[in-house]
Structure 1
Amino acid sequence: MVPALFIGHGSPMMAVQTNDYSRFLGELGQRYKPKAIVIFSAHWESETLELTYTDGVLDTVYDYYGFPDEMYQVKYPAKGSVDIAEILEDRFKRNGVQTKRELKRGLDHGSWVALKHMYPNADIPVVQLSVHPYLSPKEQYRIGRALQGIGADNILVVGSGTTVHNLRWFFPNASEPKAEAVQFDDWIIDKVQKRDLESLDRYTELAPHARLAVPRPEHFVPLFLAMGSGDENIAPIVLHRSYDFGTLSNLCFEF
């Protein structure tokens, strides 16, 4: 049995860095050894839920620009899994969630950066899924619920995003997190641990500094997909909390 996870996937540069957060991800990967990984990536947006559908090696997608050359040499050659994709399709269909197969897309950095630290050998099959950023938290949670119990089959569900993600509001030389980022995450942690979906659904009006922390929701919604995928009878756990550049949150949950 494996839980569902929400992972802050951090900056792409984390792929070639060793720090406290990358070490945490490595330790997290040692804790769980799934037979397959299902990961919702903030960097794949679509109105219809799409999923990679192949048994072949998934391309390492460099969906960023202006980074050092070494960032375009990193490879994460995980294979996909048609069998797992079909299990997901069946679960989503039974729960009224429309899906679409994607035959060519590889893993974007929303997936492979964290997975490179968690499972560096790339020896676990991965199915990546898209997100629809403009569905409400309740609707994201409902989509995630289609995967409840899949951890019993040793399939790890991961929501990959960031709770505080504002690229116009970061401070490269910051040594401490900004108070606004901390206050937003404090509110999120409290409501998630209480499973207060009513408040979470209204986070834009209730959470402090919500518009500053989440100017666009694509990185935020994987939290609710992961939350919905987890065991409703188990209290959510904060696994890690840290910040880069004063605001970029590395908050991680286990569900």
Structure 2
Amino acid sequence: MIPSLFISHSWPMLALEHNRYTEFLERLAAAYPAPKAIVLFSAHWESEVLTIGSSDDVFETIYDFGGFAPELYTLKYPARGSTAIAAAVRDAFGSKSIEARLDSRRGLDHGVWIILKRMFPEADIPVVPVSVHPFLPPERQLAIGEALRGFGDDNIFVVGSGSIAHQFGFGMDPAMVRRKSMEFEAWIIEKTEQRDIRALLDYRKLAPHASFAVPRPEHFVPLLIALGSGGDAVEPKTLYREQDAEWFGRVAFQFYT
């Protein structure tokens, strides 16, 4: 059995950096049995209907960012998909009356390949990317994850890729941005470790600086999805925490089914 994970994908340069976080991601993959496949919800793929990447071919590597080192745009992550696993994901959603569709054309955005390149550099594990609808209610995000409970029993990783706080703070006082983001992040980590579902679902009202730290929820909802996919028999575990410059932190959680 392998767990569900939430992983901060940080920024695109993570694919080129060598630091504590990249070392952690490289160790993380080795901590579990080799997965049959990876089902990954990316903050950088949004759609009103949940969309599942379905292909048995090598995915295109998408460079959905700009202004970074030229070397970054030469990197590839030639992972194949799995139509069989994609169909299983769609069927799991359907069994819970969650509308979903398959897409055979989209490649892997940086919310997917940046972290997988550090965890599985050989790109030899089938990947099934899944979009997020950031404006569904938190309860619905949790239910999306719950639909995939038990995938870990079949050695399939369910991963949410995003960020807890995602406030860049352009034109703001960096110290203020850092303080508010860290206070929000600390609250979310505490409630997640306690598996306080009620509080997390109402984070907009209860968490300090929530509207500031999460001006738009696309990076936050992968956490709720990953949390939902884990069961309640084992408490969630914070695997990694590090504040990234003055903006938002690098955090990883583990949720066992």
TM bracket, shorter-chain basis: over 0.9
User: 1:245: which partner in 2?
Assistant: 245
Give the match for residue 53 of structure 1.
54
**Change over 3 Å in CA distance of 1:8–1:247 after alignment to 2:** same
Cα-to-partner distance string for 1:52-72 (whole Å, 9 max, x where unaligned): 010000111000111121111
Q: Aligned-pair distance for 1:169? A: 4.9
Q: 4+ residue stretches of structure 1 with deviation over 3 A? A: none
Q: Secondary structure of the equivalent of 1:128?
A: strand
Q: Does 1:188 align with 2:183?
A: no
Superposed counterparts of 1:102-251, under 5 Å:
102-169=103-170, 178-251=178-251
**8 Å CA contact retained: 1:41, 1:110:** yes
Contact 1:170 1:245 in 2 (8 A): no
Give identity over the alignment, percent: 49
Aligned length: 252
Q: TM-score by structure 1 length?
A: 0.95
Structure 1, unaligned runs of 5 or more: none
| Maintained 8 Å contact 2:7/2:161 | yes
- Cα distance in 2 for residues equivalent to 1:198 and 1:133: 19
2:168–2:247 CA contact under 8 A, matched in 1: no
Code of the aligned partner of 1:192: T
1:134, CA displacement in angstroms? 0.6
Asked if 1:83 is matched to 2:84, the reply is yes
Task: For 1:16-27, list aligned pairs within 5 A.
Answer: 16-27=16-27
What displacement does 1:102 show? 0.8
Partner AA of 2:54 in structure 1:
Y
| 1:96 equivalent in structure 2 | 97
Kindly indicate whether the alpha-carbon contact (under 8 Å) linking 1:170 and 1:247 is maintained by their aligned counterparts in 2: no
- Give the aligned residue type for 1:59: E
Q: What CA RMSD, in Å, does the superposition of the two structures yield over aligned residues?
A: 1.6
Q: CA deviation at 1:247?
A: 2.1
SS of 1:83 mapped into structure 2: helix
Code of the residue aligned with 2:202 in structure 1: it is R
**Alignment partner, residue 28 of structure 1:** 28
What secondary structure, in the 3-state scheme, does the structure 1 residue paired with 2:77 have?
coil
Q: Displacement, 1:161?
A: 0.2
Q: Please tell me whether the aligned partners of residues 42 and 130 of structure 1 are also in contact (alpha carbons under 8 angstroms).
A: yes
Q: CA deviation at 1:170?
A: 9.1
- In 2, distance between residues paired with 1:181 and 1:58? 34
SS of equivalent to 1:211: helix
Whole-Å separation in 2 of the counterparts to 1:91 and 1:114: 25
> Could you tell me which amino acid in structure 2 is paired with residue 21 of structure 1?
Y
Helix, strand or coil: the match of 2:142?
Answer: helix
The residue type equivalent to 2:25 in the other structure is L
How far residue 245 of structure 1 moved from its aligned partner, in angstroms, is 2.0
Shift of 1:202: 1.6
In the aligned structure 1, how far is the partner of 2:178 from the partner of 2:168?
Answer: 14
Q: Contact 2:9/2:111 (CA < 8 Å) preserved in 1? A: yes
**CA separation in 2, counterparts of 1:157 and 1:246?**
29
Question: 1:238 is matched by which residue type in structure 2?
Answer: T
Contact 1:4–1:226 under 8 Å retained in 2: yes
- TM-score for the superposition, normalised by structure 2: 0.94
Q: Distance in 2 between matches of 1:70 and 1:144?
A: 35
Separation of aligned partners in 2, 1:12 and 1:225: 22
